[in-house]
Structure 1
């Protein structure tokens, strides 16, 4: 289990200064949308994914620790969770949850535990 679900893994290929906005996001079982917003804040890094029609246009917030690999050339972000795990994560509302420490803790606990269906913990 990762000590910090809110930090990019050293092996992810994350390059400081590269804007991930618009990159396609791939779960282990297929595409889930595009990066709409991201933060590289130390200890609190995340991406917000616009899921488009996949879950009816909702956005999801994924802690940086879920990112397994970033391919800058192909503009893709790969996460090590299934679509179902992401869909079942605590609901995200941009206006309510960005900067909310309680939501941050709840989401971190969800992904640290592996999420739905006993997936791999971070």
Structure 2
């Protein structure tokens, strides 16, 4: 099955317009950081995660299609992959970020279902 990883899944609990900045981000096997920035742009929605000390203060861009649940009460986002899967993600460079997110970041490893 193919799905658009740059759009929210049908049931993650995300409410359009909700500011996710500061939410904790949890992989299947533990915390990977906090949301530093997010976009709800149709067809190219993403979150930027500040990994803190986990992988030396990197920022990684993740497509919102990897989100399984948004828990607004606990301000946590749960992801569909392991920490190791995200550790190799390309680093997000705030200074070089442009509207062409898709061109630079749309080549992640395929999701398994």
Report the TM-score when normalising by structure 2.
Answer: 0.90
Measured after TM superposition, the shift of residue 96 of structure 1 is: 2.1
**Deviation for aligned residue 1:74:** 0.5
Residue 98 (structure 1) shift: 4.1
**Is the CA contact (8 Å cut-off) linking 1:28 and 1:79 kept in structure 2?**
yes
Match of 1:11?
11
| Pairwise CA distance, 1:9 | 0.2
How far residue 88 of structure 1 moved from its aligned partner, in angstroms, is: 1.0
Q: Which residue of 2 aligns with 1:79?
A: 79
Q: Does 1:37 align with 2:37?
A: yes
Deviation at residue 90 of structure 1 after TM alignment: 2.6
Structure 2 counterpart of 1:22: 22
Show the 5 A alignment for 1:87-98: 87-98=87-98
Residue matched to 2:108: 110
Alpha-carbon distance in structure 1 between the residues aligned to 2:63 and 2:36:
14
CA contact (8 A) 2:61 2:90 kept: no
Alpha-carbon distance between aligned partners in 1 of 2:7 and 2:95, rounded to the nearest angstrom: 23
The one-character-per-residue Cα deviations of 1:5-61 (angstroms, maximum 9, x if unpaired) are 100001111101211000000000100000000000110100000000000000010
Contact 1:97 1:103 in 2 (8 A): no
Of 81-90 and 34-43, more deviation after overlay is shown by 81-90
Aligned CA RMSD, in angstroms, stands at 1.5
